[in-house]
Chains A and B, each alone.
Chain A
C-alpha cells in the first residue's frame, strides 16, 4: 500500500514543498457540514447546515457568538472550533476591558491566524482541524473573513466552507456582485438559498440549519428556529427552484456524520502539483 514518507510530522517538508499534516487539517474542514457567510455594506449573515451525528442524537452547535459585534461559523472539528471561539471571546473581553471599545474584527482574525500558524511549526502540536467564517462589524464597516487551519486568512464578500460547499460557492459567485447593496433580509434569503444548494435535493427546514446576523444597529445574534422557518416559508425556498449546481468535488457517501473527525481512512491526497495552501 502506498504510504507517504513526509506526512507523519507537521514540521516535515515534502520535497515538493508541502506540509502534509497541514493539508490534512484542511481536509478536515471539507468534511464538516457546510457553513456559509455573506456580507453587504452594513450586515454580515452566517448560515450553516446542522447534521445530527445519528438518528438518536441532536446536532452540534456550529455558530458561536464571540461578542456583540463578532460571530463565527465553523466547519470541521467542532471541538477545535469551540476552543478557538473561547479564545476569541476572551480576546474581545480583554480588549474591551482596557479600551472600553470593541476589538476590530481584522485584528482578531490576525491573532487567530497567528495562533493557528504556531501549530504548523511545532513538532509537539497539531494544527486545528477547523475552518472559521468570522463575521463582524467595526469602524471600517462589515467584514467577513475565512480562517484556515494553515494560518492563512482571507477577507471575502461571500464564502462557503465544509462538505458540498462548492454548490453554495457557485451560487454565491453568481450573485455576489449585488450583495454590497443588499438589504439585510435579502442577505438572509441568499444565505438560505446557498444553504439549500449544499443539501443536494434534501428539503430545507429550519431544523437542519442555523442563521445568524450582525450589522449596523444589530448585535450579533442567532435567529431562532421559528424565525428561520418563517423566512424559509416566506421566501418559498423549500424545494429546488433551480437545479443545484453540480458538485464536482463531493466525496462519495459523505452523508455519514461528518463533523466528528477528519476521515482517517482518506489516505494522503494526491501528492503531485503545487501546494494548495491558499484555500
Chain B
C-alpha cells in the first residue's frame, strides 16, 4: 500500500468499498495498538443490510440463537417501529467473541464506517478482552460454538418432545433469566485437606491469642437456634441460593434431563450477558473515547479530510448528548455521555490537573499517562466502582448533577445534594449506587423446601428501601417457576433490615 505524500487520504467520497474499509481498519489499528496501547481480539467485520440488522436485534444481538416466539415478537415490534419511522437502527452491533464480530450496515457512509470501526472493532473489542468481569464470566472463544450447540439442541428437543413442550420450558426459563446468574464465583467443593489446614490455623491463632478474660463473659444460651435438621436439609440442597435457574436445574424433582439442559442453556446465556449489564457506562464510554480520539488522530495525520471528520463529530455529538431532567427528550442518564465525560476528564486530570483534582485524585493527577490510567480503569472496574472511584467534581459540575430523594409517603421530592463542595461525595455515592446491579434487581433467593410436607418451594425477596415487587408480574413469574418446580411455590417479601414479613404472595400451583 504505497501512498503518495501529497495525498495521504484513506478515502474520499461517501461511498464505501471493501478496499476502503480494509485501509481504514489498518490505519485505525495502527493508532489503536501503537498510540493508545489497546489490546484487541482479531477483528471480523461483517456487512449487513437493514433487515439483517433487525434480525440481529431480535435475537438479542447474537449471530445465531435458538428459536423462540419472543424473538419473533421483538422482531415484529422493532420492525413496525422502524417502518413507521419511529426508531432508527443502530449503526453497529458488536459481539463479544473471538474473533470479535462487528456488524456494519451497508447504508452507512464511509465516514460512518470509519466511526463504527474505531468504536466497535477497537473500543468495544478492547473492553471485552480486558475488563475483569468479561474475563471472569465470559468465554469469547467458545460463545459462538456454544450458541451453535444450544440452537441445535433446542431444535432436536423440539423434534423429539414437541414444540409446545420446549416452548413451555423456554418461556419459564426466560421469565427467570434475570435470576439465573451466578453473581459470585462458585463455592469450591468441600475439601477435607483444605478444611483441616484451616482448622489447624484457627486453633493456632486461638492459642496465640488466648485470653482468659473471655471465659468470664456470659454466653447466650442458644446463639444459633436453627434446628439441625433444617440446617442439614439446606446444606444438602445448597440453600439459600439466589441463582434460581441453577437451583431448578440441579434440584427440581420432576424435570427431565432435556429440560434441565434447556435451563442450563438459558442460564449460560444470561451469565454471558451479565457483565454487559454491569458495564454499560464504561463499555460505551470506552468505545466513544476510542472513536473520538482515533477520528481526531486520523485527521491530524492527514488520513481523512475535514468533511469526514465533521460527519464523524456530528454523529459523535448526537451520541453523547445529555438532555437535562426538564427536557422533553430526557430519559435518564445517557451512558455514552456519562462515560465519555468521565474518561475525557480522566485524561484531563492526568495531563492538566487543577488543585482540586490533585486533592481528589492524588494517585493519577498529573502523571501524564492518560491512556495507561484509562486502560487500568477499563480493566479493573465496573460501572458502580468506576463512578465511585473516578467521577470528578468537574464532571458533576459539567453535567450539573444533583441528588433527588423520593419517599413514597412524602408529598414532595427533596433535593438532597447538588454539585457543590458539600454535595460531591453524596452525589457520587448515590449515582454509583444507581449503577449497582445488586441494588437494582430485586434480591430473591430460594430459601427452603418443605420436604416433609408437600414439597413447597419457598422463596424470599429481601426488600430494600421498601420497594416491593410488582405483584402481577411476580404472580405470572411464579406460575412459570411452579411449572418448572412441579409443586407449589410461595414467595415471601421480607424487609431487608428488620426481617419483618411484609407480604406473602399466594401459593402458586403448577398448571
A-B interaction: no
